[in-house]
Structures are given as C-alpha cells and as structure tokens.
Amino acid sequence: MNCCQSLPAPVLPLLPSLDVTRQALLNRLLRRRQPWQGQIAGVQLEVVIGGPPQPDAACVVPGRLGTAALHLHLGADLLERLLASLALQRDFQGLPPALQSVLLEKALLPWIEPLEAALGQPLSLDADSQPGDFMLNLQLSADGAPLGTLTLQLSHAAAQGVADLLERYLPVARHPLPTLQLGLHLQRGWQTLSLGELRSLRPGDVLMLDCPAAADGLLVLAGGHRQARFKRQQSGLQLLEALQPINPTMENAMGQDADDAQLDDVPLTVVCQIGSLELPLGQLRELGEGSVLALPDADVQQVELLVNGRCVGRGELVAIGDGLGVRLTRFASL
C-alpha cells in the first residue's frame, strides 16, 4: 500500500528524537565544499572544510566571532607552528589559561586582522566565552605544506555566522562517488504484447523482436534512466554513443482511457535481456562513443524475458528472415 500509515504509539518513544532546526544548521556546516585559498600575512593558506576529527587537541582556546562564543581546538602541529614565532622561554602548557589566550592572540595577530577584514566581523580570544556543541574541523595548509587541524566548537549563534560565511565564500563541492557500483543491463530487443497475449505464451512459442536501429542491442542503466546502443565485437561490446536519456515511449504506461480498458488489453513491453554487469561510477562517467566493455560470462544466445524488470521466462535467440526472434524455453504461469 502507498498510503501513509502512523506508527503504533508504543514504538514512538523508542525512537531517537531529532531537532529539525539543529539538524538543518548542522547540514549547512558540514556540507562538502571546495577548499578556500588565499594569502594571509605573506603565507599562501588553504583551508579544507571537514576531514577526520583530531583525537585530543593540544590546546583549547576560548574566543568570539563578533559576539558569538566559540572555542578553538588546536592540534599539536598547528600549536607548535604558531608558538614558534614567540620564542617562549617557558612551557606553554604550564601557563595560566588567560596568559595562553594573550600569547596565542599575539601569535595569530598577523592572521586575525586580514581575517576580520575578509569576514566583516571581529575575531577575539575571550576566556569567558561559553560555546555550544557544534563542531567543525578545518584542515590547514601553508605554502603547500600541511599546517595542522583546527576544530571550531561553536555556539548556536557562532554556528549560524560560520555557516553564512561558508555559503558566501565556498561553493558546494559535488562528491564524485567514483567507486559506487551501478548495474547495467544488456538488452537485445523487445516486443509489446497485451496482458492477454502474454498469458497465452507457452514454451516453444517464438516472439519477433524489435531491435535498436543499426545496433546489436542496448546498454541500459539500472533503473531505466539512460541507455546507449552497442555493437558486438570479439573483444566485447563497443558503444555507438554516450549514455542517453531513455525515450519515455518505451516505458509501460496505461493511457488516459485505462479505466475503461479491460486488463487483458493493457500493453506490456517484454524485454529480451542477454546479461548484466556492474561498473564503478567513475568508469561509467568516462563511457562514450567507441568505448569497449567486456561481455559477461554467459551464453549470449540464452536470454531472459523481463516485464517491468521482473523475469517471466527464458529463451534462445533465433533468426527470422532478416529479423531476430526469441524461442521460449521456459515461461512462468501468469
């Protein structure tokens, strides 16, 4: 059934409760984005949003973006790089938190001023700030070399401000998903039958097939959204074109007068499939005219008959004059 159904009342308390407003803000912060690149204090800086969280920060410094509270979690490598310019005579970790904030603000001063100009908001280190629990990891590089990890722990107001800045300066980066496996079906031909004609089929019957023009078959993306014609070669299948959107007229559809039609007269497309294979999305994106794919390990004369993606029988390809047909060897009872 397609109707919306309510869950039984006893089940609802067992499910985790989701704060929709908070989740929407998290999604804005954590969206995959292109790196930011710019020059600050004579250093070519690159900032990559996200990445693995750092284990334990070497130093946590309270601060504010405008009036919004945040904490800066500095990794050991980043802290060492920042403190190098101060030439401290004492162990930084043994200093009082207030003094640590002063020293870090001094070390960061060449960066803070241009950042404030770019962001349009003051950035200060403030020992009294109380952040929330929004976390955002930044991977920093300086002059092409890794600088370290900076994690921002943000209050709700700071998270909103940072999300606004990210959306203003950093375009969203699409994830290519190169290793995602997608299914492909090899179709030799098809025939349109009424439901009544389909029910009357028996083993030994022969169906004449409609075939793609000037091709040996179709390579169809699982789900039926795109297809490409192919020619058979000894080395495999050679595509005659890039994957194209499928013509909707090939889909099974009931017309406007379907309510008045007898079910036995409903047209159905019987597809003759000679095999299937899987390709990673990265390889699929590279397919075009002339691309060659290996044939699946199967007898290409033996085929499956499919209706709406479901196997209803099997058969073998036969020549019918200059055309092509399929002789049924097995057929399901419908």
Residue 129 has pLDDT above 80, yes or no: no
Determine contact, residues 134/159, Cβ cutoff 8 Å.
Answer: yes
Q: Where are the chain's structural domains? A: 17-169, 181-252+263-331
State the pLDDT confidence band at 310, using cuts at 50, 70 and 90: very high
Indicate the range of 159-163, 203-207, 258-262 predicted with least confidence: 258-262
Mean pLDDT computed over 115-123? 82
User: Counting Cβ atoms within 10 Å, is residue 232 exposed (0-12), middle (13-18) or buried (19+)?
Assistant: middle
For range 291-314, the mean pLDDT: 86
Q: Which residues are within 8 A (CB) of 189 and not within 5 positions of it... i.e. 6 or more apart?
A: 209, 210, 211, 212, 217, 272, 324, 326
CATH architecture of the domain formed by 17-169: 3-Layer(aba) Sandwich (3.40)
Tens-place pLDDT, residues 217-265? 999 998 878 999 999 988 789 999 999 998 655 444 444 444 445 677 8
pTM passes above 0.85: no
- Greater confidence (273 vs 108) lies with 273
Least confident of 18-27, 79-88, 150-159, 206-215: 79-88
Q: Could you give the residue ranges of the DSSP H alpha helices within the chain?
A: 20-30, 76-83, 97-119, 156-169, 195-199, 281-285
Identity of the amino acid at 187: Q
Q: Would you say 23 and 123 are in contact if contact means Cβ atoms under 8 Å apart?
A: no
pLDDT in tens, 38-56: 887 788 989 999 877 777 7
Q: For residue 3, what pLDDT is reported?
A: 57
Q: The domain 181-252+263-331: what is its CATH number?
A: 2.30.330.10
Element at 209 (helix H, strand E):
none
